[in-house]
Amino acid sequence: MNKLFLLLLLMCSSLTVKASDYVYYGFQPDIITNYVAVKKKMGYVRLTVELMIEGGNNLEVVEHHSPLLRDAIINIIGQQPEEKIKSINGRHEIQRECQERIQELLKQETGETLVKKLMFTQWLDN
C-alpha cells in the first residue's frame, strides 16, 4: 500500500512541475473589433484573450510582440461572417485560426512558437 501511495505522489509531483512550466498572458485592454453583419451592416465583438506560454522566461518575449499578435487576432475576427461569429462552433474555429496565426508569427519572429494555447475567456457580440 505504501509503494502505491509513493508512486501516486511521485506522479502527481511530476505533473505539478510540468504545470509550473506554463505562464499566462492576457491582452489588456480587451480586444474590441468590428465584423461585417448581414442585417445591421456592422457588428462588433469584445473578447478577452489569454495565451498559455511555454516557460516563464518567454513571457517578456510574448509581451514584446503583443502588438503584432493583437493585430493578427483583430484581422482574423474582422474577416469572419456573422454566422460564424454568432455560433459556438464558429468561435472554436476562429480560436483555432487565431492560435495557429499567433504561433506562425512567433515562429517567424523568435524561431519558436512559444504559445501552447490561445483561449477566448470572454466573448460578447452584438
CATH number at residue 115: 3.30.479
Is 117 part of any domain? Answer: yes
> What domain range includes position 100?
21-125
Is 15 part of any domain? Answer: no
All three cell numbers of 71, joined, read 493585430
pLDDT tens for 78-91 read: 999 999 999 999 99
Provide the number of structural domains found in the chain: 1
User: What is the model's pLDDT at position 37?
Assistant: 79
Is 1 part of any domain? Answer: no
Is 42 part of any domain? Answer: yes
Beta strands per DSSP E along 6-114:
22-26, 31-37, 41-54
Average pLDDT for 3-14: 48
